[in-house]
């Protein structure tokens, strides 16, 4: 099988790595890819949001299967175009991708099926939004409706902070994404991510994970795209997972079918868990980044079979071959991230890190310059390890971090702290 992976981050390197382990993969191409992907695949410089460019490429290169990593091509309808052209693809249609692209849409679906989530209201003008905040009080959560690169959510501790966020959003801080604003009840509890493959009403769980959104040790400092993750997430017990499936995920998927926009692909449910009960924080229509890195480390080559069965509507014929293991990834970012940072510093000694089924350094933002690996983004490397215990995975990952010679980078020293605290 010839396989094309779309994207250029650590998530896509991990997808490409897992796919490359599978003997069914004859040729692997990544578009646009990065320096890490270039070591295991051919890289093609394509506009990954253009359906026609992708169809032309797939026909010329005899691509059998396309795996879509990020949300932008999904929201742009790339899966729709590929499916129309008869090319197998892993990722939902644009209509189904609204579960991530529009928070108002998701809230309406949750209300329609009675899925537990934060109480909310939505507004298109400032005065009534302010009046609602005044009536509800703080803390309260303000969200821009559309895709805002993960920056459209403000957890406001005070009323003044909430008013300032509303002023910014209605003044166009998030462009058209802020023209409609959702205001939500602030939920407390522990967050975890639940990943399932979906084919219309068939739902197959493929793992749980916990992310670390804050930049600093002890969950301090500003929010980031994610500074590290581990899988499984102990807070997401089998009982919690069953409730999430029965009360949230399956009813949502049934409603999508009822509306004529069935979902197919990976669904990532962000859950807030309190007293053993989950509530939905948000859906994403893609793998999390860096959660995907730990899931791929645990699933390995079977990830290709699972994704292909999902794309072909054969999820009922396949099962996950679970191992009793733990994976953990540490994000190495450029100093300054998530604020201003510079690109172009050299990363040395990567070659001394082992690369096998228990150790991988996934590249998130790198480029190759005449054999040298240069930092080319905010989040740059995902140092990932697997072991029988979470402690073992953390030790392996941090041992690799210690070997990497990149003074311009930094990482959090405490990835996994919640679960590690609870296991000792
Ligand atoms: P989202 O993009 O919707 O996942 O929001 C980003 C982050 O904001 C989430 O991962 C939570 O940590 C936090 N958050 C979002 N909505 C709520 C809420 N209603 N209550 C508490 N925290 C929230
Ligand atoms: N790590 C969070 C996300 O991918 O949205």
Ligand lying closest to the C-alpha of residue 329: 2
pLDDT on residue 173: 73
Q: Which residues contact 303 (CB under 8 A, 6 or more apart)?
A: 15, 18, 19, 22, 295, 296
The token pair at 150 is 């993960």
> Does the beta carbon of 71 lie inside 6 Å of ligand 2?
no
pLDDT on residue 153: 87
pLDDT on residue 365: 94
Q: What is the pLDDT of residues 136-157, one digit of tens each?
A: 999 999 988 876 665 678 899 9
Q: What is the mean pLDDT of residues 245-269?
A: 98
| Cα distances (angstroms) measured from residue 78 to each of 6, 156, 198, 233 | 10, 35, 18, 32
Residue among 228, 270, 289 whose CB has most ligand 2 atoms within 8 A, to mutate: 289
Domain definitions of the chain by residue range: 2-93, 125-179, 190-317, 326-422
Q: pLDDT confidence of 351, banded at 50, 70, 90?
A: confident
pLDDT on residue 136: 94
CATH number of 2-93: 3.40.50.20
Query: How is domain 326-422 classified at the architecture level of CATH?
Result: Alpha-Beta Complex (3.90)
> Does the beta carbon of 282 lie inside 6 Å of ligand 1?
yes
Torsion sign across C-alpha atoms 198, 203, 204, 209 = positive
Distance 281 CA to ligand 1 centre (A): 6
Instruction: Assess if CATH 3.40.710.10 describes domain 190-317.
Output: no
Distance 157 CA to ligand 1 centre (A): 13
pLDDT on residue 424: 52
**For all residues of the chain together, what is the average pLDDT?**
94
Alpha helices in 137-232 (DSSP H): 159-170
> Does the beta carbon of 204 lie inside 6 Å of ligand 1?
no
> Does the beta carbon of 148 lie inside 6 Å of ligand 1?
no
The token pair at 215 is 């930049």
Residue among 140, 141, 219 whose CB has most ligand 1 atoms within 8 A, to mutate: 141
Q: What is the pLDDT of residues 183-235, one digit of tens each?
A: 999 999 999 999 999 999 999 999 999 999 999 999 999 889 999 999 999 99
92 and 256 Cβ atoms separated by less than 8 Å: no
Distance 95 CA to ligand 2 centre (A): 21
Distance 364 CA to ligand 2 centre (A): 13
Residue 43 has pLDDT above 90, yes or no: yes
Pick the residue whose CA is nearest to atom 16 on ligand 1.
281
Cα separation, 299 vs 307, whole angstroms:
11
The CATH class of 125-179 is alpha beta
> Does the beta carbon of 226 lie inside 6 Å of ligand 2?
yes
């Amino acid at each position: 099988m010839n396989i094309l992976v779309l994207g250029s981050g650590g998530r896509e390197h991990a997808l490409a790595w897992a796919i490359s382990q599978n003997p069914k993969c004859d040729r692997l191409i990544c578009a646009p890819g990065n320096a890490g992907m270039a070591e295991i695949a051919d890289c093609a410089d394509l506009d990954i949001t253009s359906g026609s460019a992708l169809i032309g490429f797939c026909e010329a290169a005899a691509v059998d299967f396309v795996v879509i990593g990020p949300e932008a091509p999904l929201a742009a309808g790339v899966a729709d175009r590929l499916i129309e052209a008869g090319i197998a693809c892993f990722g939902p249609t644009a209509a189904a991708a609204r579960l991530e692209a529009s928070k108002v849409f998701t809230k309406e679906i949750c209300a329609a099926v009675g899925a537990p989530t934060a109480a909310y209201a939505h507004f298109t003008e400032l005065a009534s939004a302010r009046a609602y905040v005044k009536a509800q009080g703080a803390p309260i959560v303000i969200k821009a409706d559309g895709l805002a690169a993960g920056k459209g959510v403000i957890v406001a501790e005070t009323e003044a902070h909430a008013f300032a966020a509303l002023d910014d959003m209605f003044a166009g801080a998030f462009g058209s994404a802020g023209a409609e604003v959702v205001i939500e009840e602030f939920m407390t509890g522990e967050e975890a991510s639940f990943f399932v493959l979906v084919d219309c009403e068939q739902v197959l769980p493929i793992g749980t994970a916990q992310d670390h959104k804050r930049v600093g040790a002890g969950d301090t400092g500003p929010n980031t795209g994610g500074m590290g993750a581990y899988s499984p997430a102990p807070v997401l017990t089998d009982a919690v997972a069953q409730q999430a499936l029965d009360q949230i995920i399956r009813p949502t998927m049934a409603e999508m079918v009822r509306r004529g926009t069935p979902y197919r692909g990976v669904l990532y449910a962000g859950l807030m868990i309190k007293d053993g009960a989950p509530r939905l924080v948000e859906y994403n229509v893609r793998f999390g980044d860096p959660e995907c890195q730990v899931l791929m480390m645990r699933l390995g080559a079977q990830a290709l079979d699972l994704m292909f069965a999902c794309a072909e509507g054969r999820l009922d014929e396949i099962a996950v071959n679970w191992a009793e293991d733990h994976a953990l990834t540490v994000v190495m970012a450029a100093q300054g991230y998530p604020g201003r940072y510079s690109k172009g510093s050299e990363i040395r000694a990567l070659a001394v890190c082992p690369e096998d089924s228990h150790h991988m350094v996934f590249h998130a933002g790198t480029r190759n310059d005449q054999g040298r690996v240069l930092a080319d983004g905010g989040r740059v490397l995902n140092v990932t390890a697997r072991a029988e215990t979470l402690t073992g995975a953390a030790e392996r990952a941090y041992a690799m971090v210690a070997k990497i010679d990149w003074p311009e980078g930094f990482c959090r020293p405490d990835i996994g702290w919640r679960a590690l605290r609870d296991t000792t």
